[in-house]
Amino acid sequence: MRTFRIRHETAYHYGGPITSSYGLYHLSPREIERQHVLGHRVDVTPVPADRSSYVDVYGNLRTWYHVTEPHTDLVIVGTTDIDIGPQCLDADLLALPWEQCRPDLRRDVPDWWEAVDFTLPSPRVDVLPQVGEYAAPSFGRARPLGEAVEELNHRIHADFAYDPRATSVTTRVADVLRIRAGVCQDFSQLMVACLRSVGLAGRYVSGYLATVPAPGRPRNIGADATHAWAGVWVPGAGWYDLDPTNDRPVDESHATVAWGRDYSDVAPVRGVIFGAGGGSSMKVSVDMAPIEQSTFPAP
C-alpha cells in the first residue's frame, strides 16, 4: 500500500474571449478494492455558474459544468490524495483457458451480460481483421488467460515504439497498427481491440501513473501526462488490468480514474465553447508523488 498526492492541471488559452464554455470531465479517482480516496477536489477557473456530477453507466463519476464568465484562460485542476495497493486476483481464475472467459459462454456469472458490452466494437475501437491477425498468436488453444494476455501485453510493448509525435488524440487502431508507434492511449485501445477480436471483454482504463517509480523499479513511461491501460474480464473475479506502455500488470503505481469501452467514454476533459477569436492552446501537467500522510480534511 502506498499513499500519493496527484495533481492534474489542464489549462486552455484562447485567442479571443470565450463567453460560454460547456464541459464534461472524468477527474475523480474511483473507490475500488485496491484503492481508497483520502481526499479529492476539482477547481475550475473561472468558477462555473453551473456544475453537477452523476455516476455514469460504468460507475464513473462524471461532472458537467458551464462557465459563463467571459475568459481567455480556462484552468481545471484536480487534486487527489489516495491509498493504492496491488491488484489481487485469484491465480486459479487467471489460469482458466482463455476461451472460457468469453462472456457469451459464461452465463453462469451474474455480470456476464454487462461484460458483453466490452466485447463489441466501440466508437474508437474498430475490431478489424488485421487486429485479429495481430492478436491470434497469443491465443493458442486452451492457453491460460493470464499467460495469454500478459504475452499480448508484452508483444505490444515490444512491437510498438513510444512516440508522442506519431499519433494524436484522434488516431484510430488501424493507424496505430500500421505506423507501429503511439502513446499509452493508442496501445491501450489496440490491446482492447485485440481482446475483443477473440471474443474477450476488453476495457479501457484512464488514470495516473506515479511520476517516480517505486525503489528498484524501472522508470515509468507516460507519467507526466494522464495515463491509460487496458483490462480483460475474468469471470468471477472482475477485471485484470495490464499496462502495455510499461509492459507489466497494473500495480500500486497506477491510480484508476475511470473505465469505459474506449477513450471516448472517459476522456478526462472535453467540451464545447462559444465565443469570438480563433486560435487556442492547451497544456496538461500531471504530478503523482508519494506522501507520508494526507493533509486533506477527512472526507
Using CB under 8 A, which of 119, 188, 245, 246 touches other proteins? 119
Please select the residue that binds other proteins; options are 45, 106, 264, 290, rule is CB under 8 A. 264
Distance CA 199, CA 27 (A): 30
Cβ nearer to other proteins, comparing 206 with 220? 206
Of 47 and 49, nearer to other proteins (C-beta) is 49
Distance, in Å, from the CA atom of 267 to the CA atom of 65, rounded to the nearest integer, reads 15
* Among residues 162, 225, 273, 290, the one that binds other proteins under rule CB under 8 A: 273
114 binds other proteins (CB under 8 A): yes
Q: Confirm or reject binding of residue 136 to other proteins (CB under 8 A).
A: no
Alpha-carbon torsion angle 87, 90, 92, 97, nearest 10: -50
Cβ nearer to other proteins, comparing 40 with 172: 172
Backbone phi, psi, residue 59, to 5°: 90, 5
Please, which residues bridge with residue 81 across strands? 5, 39
- 265 sits near other proteins (criterion: CB under 8 A): yes
Q: Compare residues 3 and 72 and give the one whose CB is closer to other proteins.
A: 72
* Whether the Cβ atoms of residue 59 and residue 266 lie closer than 8 Å to each other: no
**Least Cβ distance, residue 68 to other proteins (angstroms):** 7
Burial (Cβ within 10 Å: 0-12, 13-18, ≥19) of residue 129: exposed
**3-state SS assignment for residue 299:** coil
Identify which of residues 50 and 163 has a Cβ nearer to other proteins in the complex.
Answer: 50
Q: Does residue 77 bind other proteins (CB under 8 A)?
A: no
Instruction: Give the strand pairing for 254-260 and 248-249.
Output: unpaired
Cell numbers at residue 216, please? 528498484
Out of 2, 36, 40, 66, which residue is the one contacting other proteins (CB under 8 A)?
Answer: 66
Task: Give whichever of 46 and 121 is closer to other proteins, judged by the CB atom.
Answer: 121
- Measure the CA–CA gap between 76 and 268, rounded to whole angstroms: 10
DSSP state of 167: -
Q: Which residue lies nearer to other proteins by CB, 91 or 272?
A: 272
Minimum distance from residue 64 beta carbon to other proteins (Å) = 5
Does position 56 interact with other proteins (CB under 8 A)? The reply is yes
Q: Are 5 and 80 in contact (CB under 8 A)?
A: yes
CA angle 238, 299, 265 (to 5 degrees): 40
Residue reference for cell 483457458: 97
Binding region for other proteins (CB under 8 A) out of 90-98, 134-142, 271-279, 287-295: 271-279
Interacting residues with other proteins (CB under 8 A): 10, 12, 20-24, 49-50, 52, 54-57, 64, 66, 68, 74, 104, 107, 113-114, 116-117, 119-121, 123-124, 168-170, 262-265, 267-276, 279-282
